[in-house]
Amino acid sequence: MINKFKEYSTHIFLFAATVITTLYSGMLWIAPNPGPWTLSEWSSAIPYAASILLFLSCHEFGHYFAAKYHKVNSTLPYYIPFPPIPWMINFGTFGAVIKTKSRIESNKAMFDIGIAGPLAGFVAALAILIYGFSNLPGPEYITNIHPDYFTPGYKTDKGLYLEFGAPLLYSICQKLFTSPGDFIPPMSEMYHYPYLLSGWFGLFVTSLNMIPVGQLDGGHIFYAMFGEKKHTAFAHIIVILMFVAGMLGILESFFEINTFIGWSGWIVWVLMLVFVIKIKHPPAYTFEKLNTGRIILGYISFAILILSFIPVPIIAY
């Protein structure tokens, strides 16, 4: 019993910490005042925290159960809390990971484990987004947060403002699941709506994981489908394009231009790929041609990347 507690204690602690940090982050996104908040006000952050944790859990348990299916020894998810840091955009979490404790023998197993997470997480993010658009509150919701929202002077004063980029799927869901009379928040206010924000977050995280580089989920999938040589060549091209987009973002901040493709944050992601995740994919012990069903799923996963990808995720102005 003691050994079991030791085995799961870290997972339980990190999950509990992430519940707290996502609740706090949810309050920062939606509260009309900086606090302290009443218990009833704290309850309004539950939809955000619950939906973020649902997305992360679906993603990681997708990997976990696929690993179990292929008899790969793996841990339960480690949730990663993100404590509040002043002047930093905070979603309350850095995500979650599982750790494999035994080697993955074949590219087929690598493919299944790699794709199960983003597919499960994508379904969860899409469901959250559809629910958010299908249940939009009236305009009084935004005026409760910004009483002057509909006045001509709104946002004319100096201050820091955010605008989120809309992935293609977000825009499609907005068109399909809203009614003509709905008040649809612009991307400069969307983050006040917990289901829209967590659905957006799910798509964004899915797209980052689906980039076909190194040991990202997309890297596993691309390697398992096309082999080491094609994966290495394509991964380097992707990293170069991301570096160019990152440099464009830095130049835009100096010259106050907008190319709609430059974002300085890609430089950070490139550094992570080059020095932490690595660009090349380690070889599988056995490599075999995937069946038609897996190939189709692989191309579906690349379509998910296109639908979820955001060239400029967040603009601060």
Q: State which residues form the domain around 294.
A: 2-316
Please say if the pLDDT value at position 64 is more than 90. Answer: yes
Give dist(CA 222, CA 230) in Å, integer. Answer: 9
Contact between 22 and 92 under an 8 Å Cβ cutoff? The reply is yes
Position with higher pLDDT, 156 vs 75: 75
Please say if the pLDDT value at position 46 is more than 90. Answer: yes
Grade residue 76 by pLDDT with cuts at 50, 70 and 90. Answer: very high
pTM: 0.94
Please say if the pLDDT value at position 264 is more than 70. Answer: yes
121-168 pLDDT, tens digit per residue, is 999 999 999 999 999 999 999 999 998 899 887 876 656 678 999 999
Non-local (6+) Cβ contacts of 172 within 8 A are 307
Least confident residue range of 158-167, 196-205, 207-216? 158-167
CB atoms within 10 A of CB 14: 17
Please say if the pLDDT value at position 224 is more than 90. Answer: yes
The total domain count for the chain is 1
Would you state the structure tokens that stand for residue 130, as one six-digit string? 């559809």
**What is the pLDDT, as a whole number, of residue 156?**
66
Please say if the pLDDT value at position 3 is more than 80. Answer: no
**What is the pLDDT, as a whole number, of residue 254?**
78
- What would the mean pLDDT of 273-284 be, rounded to a whole number? 93
Please say if the pLDDT value at position 191 is more than 90. Answer: yes
295-316 pLDDT, tens digit per residue, is 999 999 999 999 999 999 998 7
User: By C-alpha distance, which of 78, 110, 2, 90 is closest to 48?
Assistant: 90
Least confident residue range of 46-55, 75-84, 254-263, 273-282? 254-263
Grade residue 86 by pLDDT with cuts at 50, 70 and 90. Answer: confident
Give dist(CA 183, CA 179) in Å, integer. Answer: 9
**What is the pLDDT, as a whole number, of residue 314?**
92
Please say if the pLDDT value at position 2 is more than 60. Answer: no
- What would the mean pLDDT of 23-40 be, rounded to a whole number? 88
Please say if the pLDDT value at position 288 is more than 70. Answer: yes
Grade residue 12 by pLDDT with cuts at 50, 70 and 90. Answer: very high
- Average pLDDT over the chain, rounded to an integer: 93
